[in-house]
Structure 1
Amino acid sequence: MSEVLVAIEDLTVRFGDRLVVDRVNLSLHRGDIITIIGPNGAGKTTLIKTILGIQVPTSGRIMRAQNLAIGYVPQHLSLETTLPLSVKRFMLLSGQSLAECESALARTGVSHLLKASVHHLSGGEQQRLLLARALVRKPDLLVLDEPAQGVDINGQAALYDLIRQLRDELNCGVIMISHDLHLVMAATDKVICLNQHVCCSGYPADISHDPAFIETFGRPVADSLAVYHHHHNHSHDLHGNVVGSGTSHSATGHEECSHEHH
């Protein structure tokens, strides 16, 4: 059994009289990719903030591995627009060396943006910058809040593929939030459907037909979007374009690429 990085027991968070997270239990092991899905207001970000130690639980407990290094990728990069800030300076604010910062930027495919202003990045470039900032700490645990936010559909596939690769390279755990199950079907080991409490959890293909999932989201994933997988020998850049040969590995170890048809 791999190392437990985070364990949550009966975690409850209230804001005044409002119940936001209700008796959630969760264990994340090294090497796991867990995706939390749920409607707006389901408590997903609050749960993530509690794992990070930003939010204090009302009751229950959370246990973290000793000396756990966490890399956090927030949903948005909120910066004062009048503040001049280059990608290089933003990365150096992490306290790491320039060489380490450049290496992290190269790994996420945005090393060419070193001198660019963070205010002029596209959605995909910004997310890869935030991921590089998280990677520079060599985390045991990567926490991502809607990592594909503001990224087009092809860029999303490439980004999730990169997250899987980083999990393998770093042998870290990954926990991320997504609104859409179909986007993470091939990228995650386990899905937790949250609506204050855990409605259902399990393998992505099983969750899509779970009655609790259908009750929350209205219909099975397959009814609204066909997801299929195929073998391939190419990779994508941050814009989703084919850039050359390579092998993409899913969380199950099969060589596959997720494509979608409306």
Structure 2
Amino acid sequence: MTETTSTLVETSSVGLTLAGRRILESIDLAISPGEIVTLIGPNGAGKTSLLRIILGLQKPDSGHMYRRPGLRMGYVPQRISIGPTLPMTVLHFLSLPDRQPRAKRMKSMEELGIAHLARSQLHTLSGGEFQRVLLARTLLRDPDLLVLDEPAQAIDFIGQTELYRLIDRVRNERGCGVLLVSHDLHLVMAATDRVICLNRHVCCSGEPETVSQHPEYQAMFGPRAAQALAVYHHHHDHHHDLTGAPVESEDTSEREKEETSHAR
């Protein structure tokens, strides 16, 4: 393992077996401050198990797990439900379990554009509003690393886009690292720096456009999923190999014309 002072978390050859079934094999992953990393893969790929290992909730049975000393992590789970039988305002919810000062709770809500919901009952919120509340609660801990498990579930497409833009802004303003879990690469394409495609092992990793063209990604999600990413393609003066490393192009203009025609 080659962790540095800038690395927030790093796994090296991490493996996990549960009930006689191999869940993870030789997982290498590192996240740095200010970086958004998206973990994708089909159901049963081991994404949740890897999150649990990173969060310290599960010990791997092989390999090594490194966390920067004093690392503060914030976690937004995939599902949480609070029904009308438990009346609770947003402001009260943000005080649990650590009673943060009211001013800090309000500032966190203002940062996410939900200060007007302070006295609203949780069960009356939309999916997008509730996800922002969960994120605000997590930010109260001033995390160095945000871990978000399928944060856009139960949110419409426009709401998903807004949420990912918000996560990107939080990363830029706070300088924290972000680990996202998603089934859909095309939904997080514009907001992520690096993608790790997981199916028990790391199938491929790199920039989103690179991963979408990788044979193992296309084998898992199909070529139509990769084609859906074309709308997000951007033009630059280089391209990337299958590891995500930049490679200078000899004829940028011709490649840009080709990418534009594919995106139509």
Unaligned runs of 5+ in 2: 235-262
Give the alignment of 1:127-146 within 5 angstroms.
Answer: 127-146=131-150
Deviation of 1:117 after TM superposition, in Å, equals 1.3
Give the alignment of 1:54-203 within 5 angstroms.
Answer: 54-79=57-82, 81-95=84-98, 96-203=100-207
Figure out how many residues of one structure are paired with residues of the other and give that number. 232
Separation (CA, whole Å) in 2 of partners of 1:225 and 1:140: 30
Of 42, 51, 54 in structure 1, the residue corresponding to residue 54 of structure 2 is: 51
Counterpart amino acid of residue 140 in structure 2: V
- The root-mean-square deviation of aligned C-alpha atoms, in Å, is 1.9
Of 22, 27, 31 in structure 2, the residue corresponding to residue 24 of structure 1 is: 27
Contact 2:39–2:180 under 8 Å retained in 1 = yes
Between the two proteins, what is the percent identity of the paired residues?
Answer: 50
Deviation of 1:198 after TM superposition, in Å, equals 0.5
| 3-state DSSP of counterpart to 1:150 | coil
Separation (CA, whole Å) in 2 of partners of 1:182 and 1:142: 21
Contact 1:102–1:111 under 8 Å retained in 2 = yes
Counterpart amino acid of residue 36 in structure 1: L
Deviation of 1:2 after TM superposition, in Å, equals 7.2
Deviation of 1:108 after TM superposition, in Å, equals 1.1
Contact 1:51–1:62 under 8 Å retained in 2 = yes
TM-score by length of 1: 0.84
Separation (CA, whole Å) in 2 of partners of 1:129 and 1:65: 27
Of 209, 213, 224 in structure 2, the residue corresponding to residue 209 of structure 1 is: 213
Of 5, 8, 12 in structure 1, the residue corresponding to residue 11 of structure 2 is: 8
| 3-state DSSP of counterpart to 1:34 | strand
Contact 1:182–1:227 under 8 Å retained in 2 = no
Structure number having the greater helix percentage: 2
CA separation of 1:50/1:171 partners in 2, compared to 1, >3 Å: closer, same or farther?
same
Contact 1:94–1:133 under 8 Å retained in 2 = no
Greater displacement, 53-62 / 147-156: 53-62
Greater displacement, 211-220 / 72-81: 72-81
Bigger radius of gyration among the two: 2
Contact 2:189–2:232 under 8 Å retained in 1 = no
Contact 2:190–2:232 under 8 Å retained in 1 = no
Deviation of 1:165 after TM superposition, in Å, equals 0.8
Separation (CA, whole Å) in 1 of partners of 2:16 and 2:193: 26
Separation (CA, whole Å) in 2 of partners of 1:228 and 1:141: 26
Structure number having the greater strand percentage: 1
Unaligned runs of 5+ in 1: 231-260
CA separation of 1:27/1:220 partners in 2, compared to 1, >3 Å: closer, same or farther?
farther
Residue 36 (structure 1) aligns with? 39
Separation (CA, whole Å) in 2 of partners of 1:139 and 1:168: 13
| 3-state DSSP of counterpart to 2:107 | helix
Greater displacement, 59-68 / 219-228: 219-228
Runs of 4+ in 1 over 6 A off after TM superposition: none
Residue 242 (structure 1) aligns with? none
TM-score by length of 2: 0.83
Contact 1:208–1:220 under 8 Å retained in 2 = no
